[in-house]
Structure 1
Amino acid sequence: MPQPQLVLVYEPEDACRNRLAAQGFSERHALEISSYLAQSTDLALEFEAITEACGRRSIRFVPTALDEAGPVLASADPGATLVWTLTDGIAYFRGGAAPALARLGGLRTIGAEDSLFALCQDKFRSGAVLSALGLPVPPAGLARDGEWLVASPESATGYFAKPNRLGAKIGIWPDSRCEDADDALVISRRVFAAYRDDIVVQPYVAGRNVRASFLAVDPNAGTEALGVFFVDSGGDFQTMADSMALYGDTGLAAKAEGGYAEPELVPVAASQPESDRRIREIADALMPGLGLKDVFSMDFRVEQDDTVHLIEFEVCPGLPCFDFRAYCAAQWDLSLPDAIAETAARRLAVAPT
């Protein structure tokens, strides 16, 4: 019988940059866009440790760059293979192809079904689905290059404008919190010129930033295993510059220059247990209602009066990021390599159905 194997599919930053450059993006903007893939750079530094952790569990670890995934997955034994996709993406990134290829070959996967790898990267459409599920997401307008595709909602608190397909951080400048809808249209022109993307325009919501992380090391784990933390970085929201200083190639350079500072993580339950309870209720609704499972994260804004705003969900959370490492240690008492290996081992121990 073949040795069980974990195939981790990742998209490298440099491969993305080269492809974007060939499409005519400037060097600067290609670098900014590709920084979304920083976890592939950071996790590669631990491939040896993950190999060792998997080896202790009699599993072969096969890290595979996305461009090489087709033949690797096509030749894999469905009875002995588990596929873990590190990156989502439908536009600038292509990681959503990996779980689809796995499904085509009848291979087992870690994570959500492949349709969610596309949905989570389209913030306007995912927000519409979350709203239809009755969850507390801010209403949204959609603009492209200075024109409304969907009119902005009314707001007495100002607006927050962000690129639609590049996540909540990429392309955000300090003036992304703006006073009126006309200001948002100005931002939409800048985003379109730089990144060829639409923008989502939402009423600004106050509160502290919260990250909820989930990894089902135990396949039977439910939302009791969710890690819910305030992420206090000293700013109201994270800009592009803030993000690039934390992760990937640019993050490594920042660390070398002494410019790296991890935000503080504080358990929400310690000061606002009602907000913690509400966030777990939302996760309880999303897991069956949307199909989230195995590994995911959610971002919230939480106000002092326990008003909770769901901002987005991710099916490929940043595994090597400081917050996910802290979660693995706090919830599972495992290092990141051991958490990855143990999650895979428990699933590969069960015969495929």
Structure 2
Amino acid sequence: MARPELILAYEPVAACESRLLAEGYSAAATAEIASYLAQSTDLAPEFDAIADACGRRGIRFVPVELDAARSVLAARNPGHCLVWTLTDGIAYFRGSAIPALARLGGHPVLGSDDAVFALCQDKFRSGAVLGALGMPVPNAGLCRDGAWIPAPPPAPLGYFVKPNRLGAKIGIWPDSRCQDLAEAEALSRRVFAAYRDDVVVQPYVPGRDVRASFLAVDPLADVERLGIFFVDSGGDFQTMADSLALYGDTGAAARASNTYAEPELIPVARSQPVADRRIREIASQLMRGLGLRDVFSMDFRVEADDTVHLIEFEVCPGLPCFDFRGYCLREWGLGLADAMAETAACRFAC
């Protein structure tokens, strides 16, 4: 009988860069956009460790670049494999096609429904759906090259501006928190010129950044296995420069020169147990109502009075990132390679 296979599909940075340059993006914008795929760069040196961890559990590990995924899946027996999507995207990146491709071939997938992969990459639309589900999301506007589609509500504390399809960090500058709509329009024009993207304009919400991570190593795991941590990076919000310093080639260079510094992970329950419980309730609602499962992350702002603001969710969290590694170790007592292998082994056992 053939050994079961864990197929990890990912989009490499170089492939994305080549495509964006061919589409006319500037070299600077291309480098920033493609850096969001840094987890594929960061995880590649650990493929041998993941293969070893899988091998000890009777599983063959097969990392597959995105452009080869169609032929690889076509040659696989759906009854003997499990597909795990490492990098997603619907605009600048293409990884969200993998769950749909797997479904087309009848291959089982680890993670949420393929529709959710596309939804979470459009921050305005996902925010609208989250609002309809009663989630505590800031009421956002959408602006395209300075033109409103619609405008956001009044905001006494000003606004926060971010690209709509590039996540919460890409292209965000230190002045991305602004005071009025005229400044937001100007930021929209800057983003459109650099990235050809709309911007989500949200009322600024105070508080500390919180990351909630989830991996169902045990298929029966529920929100009690969610890891909820303050992520204090030293600033009010993380900029593009902050993100680049942590991941990919820049992060590797910082580690080599001993200048790498990770934000501290502090359990929310330690100081704000009420907020911790509220976040678990939100995650439970989204697992039931939105179809989040297996592996995901959520970003929040939490105020001192335990007010919780849901900012966004991701179905392809950065597995090799410091926060997800910390979660696997603290919650499951496993390094990343063993956590991935054990998750796959439990699925095959089921």
CA drift at 1:88: 1.2
Q: Which amino acid aligns with 2:25?
A: F
Describe how 1:221-260 pairs up with structure 2 within 5 A: 221-260=221-260
Describe how 1:28-43 pairs up with structure 2 within 5 A: 28-43=28-43
Q: Which amino acid aligns with 1:16?
A: C
Q: Match of 1:79?
A: 79
CA drift at 1:74: 0.9
1:196-241 C-alpha deviation (Å, 9 max, x unpaired): 0000000000000000000000000000000000001111100000
Q: Which 4+ residue blocks in structure 1 deviate beyond 6 angstroms? A: none
Q: Match of 1:326?
A: 326
Give the Cα separation in 2 of the matches to 1:280 and 1:57: 31
Give the Cα separation in 2 of the matches to 1:177 and 1:151: 16
1:64 aligns with 2:34: no
Q: Match of 2:128?
A: 128
**Percent of pairs identical after alignment?**
72
Q: The residue matched to 1:73 in structure 2 has which SS?
A: helix
1:110-149 C-alpha deviation (Å, 9 max, x unpaired): 0001111110010000000000000000000000001111
1:12-47 C-alpha deviation (Å, 9 max, x unpaired): 011101110000111111010001101000010100
Q: Match of 2:50?
A: 50
Q: Match of 1:199?
A: 199
1:242-269 C-alpha deviation (Å, 9 max, x unpaired): 0001001222123223332100000000
Give the Cα separation in 2 of the matches to 1:300 and 1:87: 21
Q: Match of 2:144?
A: 144
Are the equivalent residues in 2 in contact too, given 1:245–1:259 (CA < 8 A)?
A: no
TM-score w.r.t. structure 2 length?
0.99
Q: Which amino acid aligns with 1:38?
A: A
Give the Cα separation in 1 of the matches to 2:259 and 2:247: 12
Give the Cα separation in 2 of the matches to 1:325 and 1:337: 10
Q: Which amino acid aligns with 1:214?
A: F
Q: The residue matched to 2:149 in structure 1 has which SS?
A: strand
Give the Cα separation in 2 of the matches to 1:214 and 1:259: 29
Give the Cα separation in 2 of the matches to 1:69 and 1:253: 30
Q: Which amino acid aligns with 2:68?
A: E
Give the Cα separation in 2 of the matches to 1:136 and 1:283: 12
CA drift at 1:309: 0.1
Q: Match of 1:294?
A: 294
CA drift at 1:83: 0.2
**Structure 1 spans left out of the alignment, 5+ residues:** none
Describe how 1:204-215 pairs up with structure 2 within 5 A: 204-215=204-215
Give the Cα separation in 2 of the matches to 1:86 and 1:145: 31
CA drift at 1:321: 0.4
Q: The residue matched to 1:174 in structure 2 has which SS?
A: coil
Are the equivalent residues in 2 in contact too, given 1:123–1:164 (CA < 8 A)?
A: yes
Q: Match of 2:218?
A: 218
Q: Which amino acid aligns with 1:165?
A: R
CA drift at 1:347: 0.5
CA drift at 1:87: 1.0
Give the Cα separation in 2 of the matches to 1:253 and 1:112: 34
Give the Cα separation in 2 of the matches to 1:39 and 1:348: 25
TM-score w.r.t. structure 1 length?
0.98
Give the Cα separation in 2 of the matches to 1:152 and 1:349: 49
Q: Match of 1:176?
A: 176
Q: The residue matched to 2:206 in structure 1 has which SS?
A: coil
Q: Which amino acid aligns with 2:214?
A: F
How many matched pairs? 350
